[in-house]
Amino acid sequence: MSNSQTEQLPAHQVEAASKAFEQEFERFARFTSDLNALSSLALDEALAEERALSELRVRHSGKKSALAAAKKLIGRVAPEERPAFGQLIRDFEEKLVSRLDAVELNLKNHIEQVRTARESIDVTLPGRRPPYGHRHPITIIRERIEDIFVALGYVIEDGREIETDFYNFTALNIPDNHPARGEADTFYTTDGFALRSQTSTVQIHAMQRRGVPIRMIAPGRVFRRDTPDPTHNPMFYQVEGLCVDRGITMAHLKGTVTEFLRRMFGPETVTRFRPSYFPFTEPSAEFDFSCFKCKGAGCRICKNSGWIELGGSGMVHPDVLRMVGVDPQVYSGFAFGLGIDRMCALMYELDDIRLLFENDVRFLEQFE
Ligand code: 2NL
């Protein structure tokens, strides 16, 4: 064979295939030589490189590759040149496969690492705290009132919010023609029941059920047909107290209300009783206490008077006692009532009572 024929020989084709491979492989080579090149690959970039590498493998070692074509030529090479040619192909194939395998291994390891890192959880990070719940400001004040009266030997009674005329008015000695019974003051259901306008209803039920002597308070929601403004809401919270026993006098009323207000607003608190009128008590009195903020000197809260008006009270009217089957010749009692939301507004210095019923968590969460 002449030299010019040798140029066309299969050995030359293998060399050309090897060169073509080297050229295409060049950009993958960095994944075995340069560690930074790999670690800077994002997951989707690494996956794209993996696919490109697999295509390269098919092109250079697959059925239609130059390598496969060269292998077919082995039989047609002259016997004396066959071993050398065979060796050439094996060397080329081995180099090709080992270089592809090395890159593929590095890529796969990197992909695995990135995936693991992405899915891993740092157990040393602080957890997410669930937001704490808290009591409504009215609940905070109600529970303080309840605690004080429970300590004084009172029980807490609860009742219904929809009542008959008897419990809401008649049993409380409120005359038939009294404006409180009218549609303008009280909410009525279509079948004639009243939304209770004070929690005295609960006291009437309790006296009927438990009899006397009795010491109780009745906190709860009441309803009056008022136009909402900064100091009024048609639904508000009230607590009423009742003490009936033999020999109960106005002195017990004053002592109890005073002790309650001292425990609520501080031991230096002074109380003041002013004569008043309620159909269900006789005599009746409204009570004030010395301002907890300025101690009586005068400030914004007490409107410079030094006193804060809080509620009404009195000796239970004998007719009310008779109405629930209690003999007023044997028993006497005192009762009082005050607004919880009003107390709340005072203590937290709210200038609008309606804030308590808007249920804006940004407002409500400030109190506990
Ligand atoms: C006020 C006035 C008051 C009563 C409530 C009462 C209850 C019974 C018998 C007699 Cl069962 N009286 N409750 C007495 C006087 C005043 O509340 O200004 N409340 C906010």
Distance 336 CA to ligand 1 centre (A): 5
Distance 320 CA to ligand 1 centre (A): 11
Probe residue for ligand 1, chosen from 200, 309, 319 as the CB with the greatest number of ligand atoms within 8 Å: 200
Query: CA-to-CA distance for 84 and 88, rounded, in angstroms?
Result: 6
Query: CA-to-CA distance for 119 and 109, rounded, in angstroms?
Result: 15
- Report residue 2's pLDDT band, with 50, 70 and 90 as the boundaries: very low
CA 204 to ligand 1: nearest atom: 11
* pLDDT over 70 at 7, yes or no: no
* pLDDT over 80 at 1, yes or no: no
- Tokens describing residue 255: 């002592």
For 295-318, letters b (16+ CB in 10 Å) and e give ebeeeebbeeebbbbbbbbbbbbb
Average pLDDT, the chain: 93
pLDDT tens per residue across span 82-132: 898 999 999 999 999 999 999 999 999 999 999 998 888 888 999 889 988
* pLDDT over 90 at 246, yes or no: yes
Distance 335 CA to ligand 1 centre (A): 6
**What is the arithmetic mean of pLDDT over 49-55?**
95
Is 294 within 8 Å of 302 (Cβ atoms)?
Answer: yes
CA 320 to ligand 1: nearest atom: 9
CA 337 to ligand 1: nearest atom: 17
- CA-nearest residue for atom 7, ligand 1, is 200
- What is the pLDDT, as a whole number, of residue 271? 97
Probe residue for ligand 1, chosen from 154, 170, 240 as the CB with the greatest number of ligand atoms within 8 Å: 240
Query: CA-to-CA distance for 254 and 314, rounded, in angstroms?
Result: 9
pLDDT tens per residue across span 330-362: 999 999 999 999 999 999 999 999 999 999 999
Distance 167 CA to ligand 1 centre (A): 13
- What is the pLDDT, as a whole number, of residue 349? 93
By the 10 Å C-beta count (0-12 exposed, 13-18 middle, 19+ buried), 144 is classed as middle
| Ligand 1 interacting residues, C-beta cut-off 6 A | 200, 203-204, 238, 240, 242, 278, 280-281, 311-314, 316, 320, 335-339
- Tokens describing residue 164: 């008959």
- Report residue 364's pLDDT band, with 50, 70 and 90 as the boundaries: very high
Distance 244 CA to ligand 1 centre (A): 13
- What is the pLDDT, as a whole number, of residue 8? 56
Phi/psi-derived region of residue 266, left when phi > 0, alpha when psi is between -120 and 50, beta in every other case: left
- Report residue 11's pLDDT band, with 50, 70 and 90 as the boundaries: confident
CA 203 to ligand 1: nearest atom: 11
- Report residue 363's pLDDT band, with 50, 70 and 90 as the boundaries: very high
Q: What is the model's pTM?
A: 0.70
- Report residue 3's pLDDT band, with 50, 70 and 90 as the boundaries: very low
**What is the arithmetic mean of pLDDT over 10-34?**
90
Percent of the chain whose pLDDT exceeds 70: 98
- CA-nearest residue for atom 3, ligand 1, is 337
* pLDDT over 80 at 253, yes or no: yes
- CA-nearest residue for atom 19, ligand 1, is 337
pLDDT tens per residue across span 65-85: 999 998 888 888 888 988 989
Q: Which residues pair with 236 in a beta bridge?
A: 222
Is 233 within 8 Å of 227 (Cβ atoms)?
Answer: no
- What is the pLDDT, as a whole number, of residue 4? 44
- What is the pLDDT, as a whole number, of residue 90? 93
**What is the arithmetic mean of pLDDT over 39-62?**
94
